[in-house]
Amino acid sequence: MTTEKPHGAEATVIIGQKVRPGREQEFEAWQEDVNAAAADYDGFLGAEISPPTRLQPDWVVVYRFDSIAHLQAWINSATRQGFLDRGGAYLDGPPTQQVVSGGIRPPDPLVTVVVTHRVHPDHVDAFLAWQRRMDQKERAFEGFRGTELFRPVEGLQDEWTTLYRFDSAEHLDAWLTSAERQEVLTEGEKFHDFRMRTIDNSFGSWFAFEENGKEAPPPSETKTSVAVWVGLYPTVVLLTLALSPLKMPLWLGLLVGNLLSSFIMSFVTMPFYVNPLLRRWLRPRPDAPARKTHLVGLGTVAAVMVFWAVVFYLVTTQLLHLP
């Protein structure tokens, strides 16, 4: 049975955008700036950009906030409008936008279809019954992995939104072109006014459904890079000091050192040092203030790196007298 989601929890907006040919890199840099601005707003949980793929013709941007109210504050903000005014040169036409409420998380790569319907208030019960019939038919098809139904969001979106997912494009196509689906569409002729967009989730997006949507999304690429830097610097320096008595030639020392540092980073440095140290910054609690979380995280990074720099300066210049 299709699960209908309430509006009391997290809120996600899915924005599809066509980009002018040749302006893709400028658009992506601009969009990163937009996402950084969104992170300063209350309730921000994360943002992700997905470039077009064979299945997904548009760029897709996803924002997650801890509530509809906080999402609405960002969507309608003067800050975002200012970015949109400046980014018009990169955009090819108006975007599409769907808002859903409730946690959505990504354990595995799937193909997701977003369908929006405009439903007259007098036809809501008939629409829900029709959606249940659609869901029963979908479940009989190979590769089907789940579906959810979201009501309109007052002040943001008038349409009903359905998300359903399959494990591959082939299985999705089998359903989309099936006689069973056509039969159900014919039964719901008065609901024929809909829009459908396929989102390729092979990039590890957020469109897998589970009840516990309270967990934070994966860290951004910027946070991940900074976290690796925090772990890599002491690992490489300590390993270099440990291997220096062997007096290996440069090419061999780097070969051995890189191999050992990869293992140490994977099994020691990241799980036992970096992740516990930066956990609240990499995966903040949904109710944590975004600005405070960023400032505390960056302050921790700065303090730790200054500490290691001072330690290694003293060790290499005062104790061992290394270059």
CA atoms within 13 A on the CB side of 175: 23
The pTM of the whole model exceeds 0.85? no
Note whether 216 and 44 are within 8 A (CB): no
pLDDT per residue over 108-148, tens digit each? 456 777 788 888 888 888 888 888 888 888 888 888 877 77
pLDDT per residue over 267-283, tens digit each? 889 888 988 898 888 87
Using the 8-state DSSP alphabet, how is residue 220 labeled?
Answer: P
What is the three-class DSSP state of 219?
A: coil
- Please report the DSSP string for 254-302 in residue order: HHHHHHHHHHHIIIIIIIIIIHHHHHHHHS--TTS-HHHHHHHHHHHHH
Tokens of 130: 């029709």
Tokens of 221: 């690429």
pLDDT per residue over 171-196, tens digit each? 888 888 888 888 888 887 777 667 77
55 vs 259, residue with greater confidence: 259
> What residue type is assigned to position 303 of the chain?
A
| 227: Cβ contacts below 8 Å, ≥ 6 apart | 219, 270, 274, 275, 278, 282
pLDDT per residue over 160-174, tens digit each? 888 777 877 788 888
Sorted by where each begins, the domain ranges of the chain are 3-209, 221-319
Mean pLDDT of 217-233: 81
CATH of segment(s) 3-209: 3.30.70.100
> % helix / strand / coil in the chain, to the nearest 5?
50, 20, 30
Mean pLDDT of 61-81: 86
